[in-house]
Chains A and B, each alone.
Chain A
Amino acid sequence: MSEDTLDEDIKQLVVARLRSLPPDREISIGADGSFKKEELIRHVEEEDSVGRKMIEIEMSFLRALKEGVLYDE
């Protein structure tokens, strides 16, 4: 699998997770501002700095699940 394909797969995975957000939720990302679901999805699709940050956050979560971080004491 090429790196481009992998990146596209990851992007689509993150978009799919963001689609599960309720419409009345907004995320505050520090000085970047606050974003609604559709805005977040657009940023991820455009792969701008906010979009890349959201990808990092979601991938970090998936890694934490795999590494068992959530169950550490």
Chain B
Amino acid sequence: MNKRVVVTRPNHDFTTRYLSYWAQKVIAAAERKGDQVLDLKQTRATRREFESVVEKLGPDFIFLNGHGNTQCVTGQDNESLVAVGENEVILRGTVVYALSCQAARKLGPAAVRAGTNAFIGYTGDFIFYRDTAKQTRPHHDSVARKFLDPSNQIPLSLLKGNTAQQAQVSGKGAFRKNIRKLLTSETSAQDTSLLSALVWDMTHLECIGDPASVI
């Protein structure tokens, strides 16, 4: 059965530009398999739009991209889209992947208490390196790709029908694969500087809620 997917993609600084670009790959994959995707990009990534779309569509999967903290994930111009004690109940009955800083620390558990099936996210900041020569062309940035492709592995795994826990394990595996590549002798000394950030992201990726949840 085709799935209903909501994606939020603010784009107002370099970080959100990159997340937004990479999320397009997930949207394309979902659309190729016939899933219904509601793409809240740029100025549509507001709380009002988000709540309205989620209530009308009743999505199976919500993919949040943007800044955040332990309490919330934000949209365009850092407007809070979903926050602890305000509207986390809107995520009930869904599987969520939050590509956002620290959201798995408090927002994730609060969302699960409010009925979210599973919440995958990061208990620390999501950090990534970029190549400044490529920042206007994210698709050519092989440095950022080392971080954002492993992140994409999580929603892509969910879209294939894997469980939330399998998606988390798959994401960690993709980070680990890139870490191992960087540890090999063929890697330049400069690229080894990315290791600490990749390890950070991998170790802070968590799955909260029912690990057997599928979308």
Using a CB–CB cutoff of 8 Å, the interface residues on chain A facing chain B are 17-18, 20-22, 24-34, 36, 53, 57-58, 60-61, 64, 69-70, 72
> Chain A contacts of B179 at CB under 8 A?
70
Could you tell me if A64 and B199 are in contact, using CB atoms closer than 8 angstroms?
yes
> Chain A contacts of B15 at CB under 8 A?
28, 30, 34
Determine if B78 is an interface residue (Cβ-Cβ < 8 Å). yes
Q: How many B residues face the partner with a CB closer than 8 A? A: 36
A56–B132 alpha-carbon span in the complex (Å)? 24
Determine if B127 is an interface residue (Cβ-Cβ < 8 Å). yes
Could you tell me if B200 and A28 are in contact, using CB atoms closer than 8 angstroms?
no
A34–B125 alpha-carbon span in the complex (Å)? 13
CB within 8 Å for A70 and B176 given contacts A21-B190, A61-B199: yes
A31–B102 alpha-carbon span in the complex (Å)? 11
Can you list 28 A-B pairs with a CB-CB distance of less than 8 A?
A: A17-B193, A18-B193, A21-B190, A24-B132, A25-B130, A26-B14, A27-B128, A27-B129, A28-B127, A28-B128, A28-B129, A28-B130, A30-B67, A30-B68, A31-B67, A31-B68, A33-B13, A34-B14, A34-B130, A36-B132, A53-B125, A57-B196, A60-B200, A61-B199, A61-B200, A64-B199, A69-B199, A70-B179
> Chain B contacts of A18 at CB under 8 A?
193
A60–B197 alpha-carbon span in the complex (Å)? 10
CB within 8 Å for A28 and B203 given contacts A20-B193, A57-B196, A70-B176: no
Could you tell me if B14 and A32 are in contact, using CB atoms closer than 8 angstroms?
no
Determine if B101 is an interface residue (Cβ-Cβ < 8 Å). yes
A24–B134 alpha-carbon span in the complex (Å)? 9
> Chain A contacts of B189 at CB under 8 A?
20
Nearest residue (CB) in B for A54 is: B196
Other-chain contact of A21, B69, B125, B180, B193 (Cβ < 8 Å):
B193
Nearest residue (CB) in A for B125 is: A30
Nearest residue (CB) in A for B196 is: A61
Q: How far is the CB of A30 from chain B (nearest CB, A)?
A: 4
Determine if B126 is an interface residue (Cβ-Cβ < 8 Å). yes
